[in-house]
Structure 1
């Protein structure tokens, strides 16, 4: 367990240090050699974590999915499905905004690359599946009554979540406001979800 924790910490360190270099010099100008030098690791260690430089950007989605699973567990006892979803996605937004400039850079680089955007879609699908599972459970437990299919509800919430991230990334919204923006938008769509 300790070894896994250290591996996660090193991967996170490589990710953040690389993003810092990308921010300073531009993604295209940074080499794997510069990343390994900044992290104080060898190229072999780097390639144990990332197959190539571009894969560093994909770690953003991977780390969010790991955090999502932890957050779902942390908030599993919240009774109301909207509140549970709000807390879970709030945790993700807080993590995302904790290194705001670097996360904005990663988001922009992923959006510029068709290949990376396609690979990142796996993380989006994972988010969708986890939310659909929460929604199904709420319906089965009688805590959510909706005329909408689970898939439609999950897709709508994922859309609100990513709209919040893109607005924050592109429109220079303050990081403190990202959670508040998401909460307000979820309030609006939830009125249409929680109706028969």
Structure 2
């Protein structure tokens, strides 16, 4: 377990240090050699974690999915589905905003690359599946009454989540935090979902 924690820590360090270099010099100008030198690791170690430089950007989605599963476990005992979903997605957005400038950079690079965007879609689909699972459970337990199909509800919530990230990345923030922005939009969408 300790070894796994160290591996995760090193992967996160490579990710953040590389993003810092991308921000300072531009993604195209940074080499794997520069990343390994900044992190104090060998190229072999780098390639144990990332097959190529571009894969560093995909770690944003991977780390969010890992955090999603931890957050779902942490909040599984919350009875109200709206509150549970809000807490889970708040956790993800908090992680995103804790290194906001670097995360914005990673998001922009993914948006600019069709290849990376296609690969990132796996993380989006995973988020959708996990939310659909939470919604389905809430419906089966009689905690959510909605005329909408589970898949449509999950799609709407994922849409609000990514719209929030995209707005935060591309536009000047209208709200004090990304979480506040998400909550306000989520409240509007939830009114159309829950007919309790």
The TM-score by the shorter chain falls in which range?
over 0.9
Q: CA RMSD in A?
A: 1.1
Q: Give structure 1 regions of 4+ aligned residues with deviation exceeding 6 angstroms.
A: none
Aligned residue number for residue 97 of structure 1: 97
In 2: Cα distance, 1:176 partner to 1:3 partner: 38
Describe the superposition over 1:53-101 as per-residue Cα deviations: whole angstroms up to 9, x where unpaired.
0000000000000000000001111110000000000000000010011
CA contact (8 A) 1:93 1:179 kept: yes
In 1: Cα distance, 2:44 partner to 2:175 partner: 36
Aligned residue number for residue 37 of structure 1: 37
Describe the superposition over 1:27-76 as per-residue Cα deviations: whole angstroms up to 9, x where unpaired.
00000000000000000000000000000000000000000000000111
Gaps of 5+ in 1: none
Instruction: Calculate the TM-score normalised by the size of structure 1.
Output: 0.98
Equivalent pairs, count: 196
The structural deviation recorded for 1:172 is 2.6
Q: 1:175 to 1:117 in 2, by over 3 A?
A: farther
In 2: Cα distance, 1:139 partner to 1:65 partner: 23
Instruction: Calculate the TM-score normalised by the size of structure 2.
Output: 0.98
Gaps of 5+ in 2: none
CA contact (8 A) 1:97 1:175 kept: no
The structural deviation recorded for 1:6 is 0.3
